[in-house]
Amino acid sequence: MNIHFEFPAVPARMGATALLAACLSTVMMGDCFAQSSAEPAKDAAPPNFGLSANVSLASQYRVRGLMQTNSEPAIQGGLDLSHSSGFYAGNWNSSITWLSGSAPVEMDFYGGYTKKIMGDLSLDVGAIRYYYPGNTLGSPNTTELYLGLGYGPVSFKYSRSLTDLFGVDESKGSQYYDFKGSIDTGVWGLMADGHVGYQKVRGTADVSYTDWLLGVSKSWSNGFSASLAYIDTNADHAFYTNRQGKYMGRSTVLLTVTRKF
């Protein structure tokens, strides 16, 4: 899940557009304060805390290969707070439609610790809460712990649910294995991106599945980035057909444009 940024507290039923406005307002206020402050001395120590924000427009929203907006566009964004020690916390949000009008927003809250532990080998450990405010259909809210290792352009992340997984009954302890890599092609600054994931759903092995991604991405110095990816899964059609009658694991091409602040 570009891991893988949240907004300030908002009312439970606030829509994705209002969430985006809150994020942009926070960023703009930060810019105003920054412009009115005196420049730090050149030999000043770097700040202990860092704050960043991001806003994205996507042709649709996918989680572990599964559609969340019925192939419709999604607006997304969030905030990240980091500390020089390696600790971090954040919130990330996206518009969704898979809950049939209930809970039109997914809000992810997470925190953890990341650090290089040996040369280019890095460690990332933390927890994430997937929250669907205003939902009235079951209990899709999910909490996971995760452990990640990165080395150069490749990484592996293991996640384990502490609750039922996105509303699947008796699925506590489900696991997700995420392998990904991003390699510089040397052409126009393009990166070649790849991912393979395996979702093990505890208690109902027949609904476990594999998802994969192949794509390209590019970042610019002004904070903009874009990605284009082909996504597919082998998820079971019968189980992963939503209330609107659409197969959530169908193949697709996903376009995302992001602005970081």
Model confidence pTM above 0.85: no
Q: Token digits for 212? A: 């994969």
Q: What is the mean pLDDT of residues 10-16?
A: 40
Q: Token digits for 132? A: 């669907």
Report yes or no on 3 lying in a domain: no
Q: Which residue has the higher pLDDT, 43 or 203?
A: 203
Q: Which residue has the higher pLDDT, 205 or 170?
A: 170
pLDDT digits (tens, 9 = 90+) for 16-56: 444 434 433 443 344 433 444 445 555 565 679 999 999 99
Closest CA to 78 of 127, 124, 16, 32: 16
CATH number, domain containing residue 98:
2.40.160.40
Residues whose CB falls within 8 Å of the CB of residue 194, separated by 6 or more in sequence, listed in order: 180, 181, 182, 212, 213, 214, 215
Give the per-residue pLDDT at 134. Answer: 79
11-20, 36-45, 57-66, 184-193, range with the lowest pLDDT: 11-20
Report yes or no on 4 lying in a domain: no
Give the per-residue pLDDT at 167. Answer: 87
Report yes or no on 7 lying in a domain: no
Report yes or no on 253 lying in a domain: yes
Distance CA 94, CA 56 (A): 9
Report yes or no on 2 lying in a domain: no
Distance CA 193, CA 43 (A): 38
Report yes or no on 6 lying in a domain: no
Q: Which residue has the tokens 């505890």?
A: 202
Range list of β-strands (E), the chain: 49-58, 62-63, 66-67, 74-83, 87-95, 105-118, 121-131, 142-151, 154-161, 175-184, 191-200, 209-219, 224-233, 252-260
CB 128 within 8 A of CB 109: yes
73 pLDDT exceeds 80? Answer: yes
Report yes or no on 175 lying in a domain: yes
Report yes or no on 226 lying in a domain: yes
136 pLDDT exceeds 80? Answer: no
216 pLDDT exceeds 60? Answer: yes
How many domains does the chain fold into?
1
Give the per-residue pLDDT at 100. Answer: 59
Closest CA to 96 of 139, 67, 118: 67
Give the per-residue pLDDT at 203. Answer: 84
Q: Which residue has the tokens 């290792």?
A: 149
pLDDT digits (tens, 9 = 90+) for 105-130: 999 999 999 999 988 999 999 999 99
Q: What is the mean pLDDT of residues 135-164?
A: 92
Give the per-residue pLDDT at 135. Answer: 72
Domain encompassing residue 124: 16-260
At 77, is the secondary structure helix, strand, or coil? strand
Give the per-residue pLDDT at 247. Answer: 95
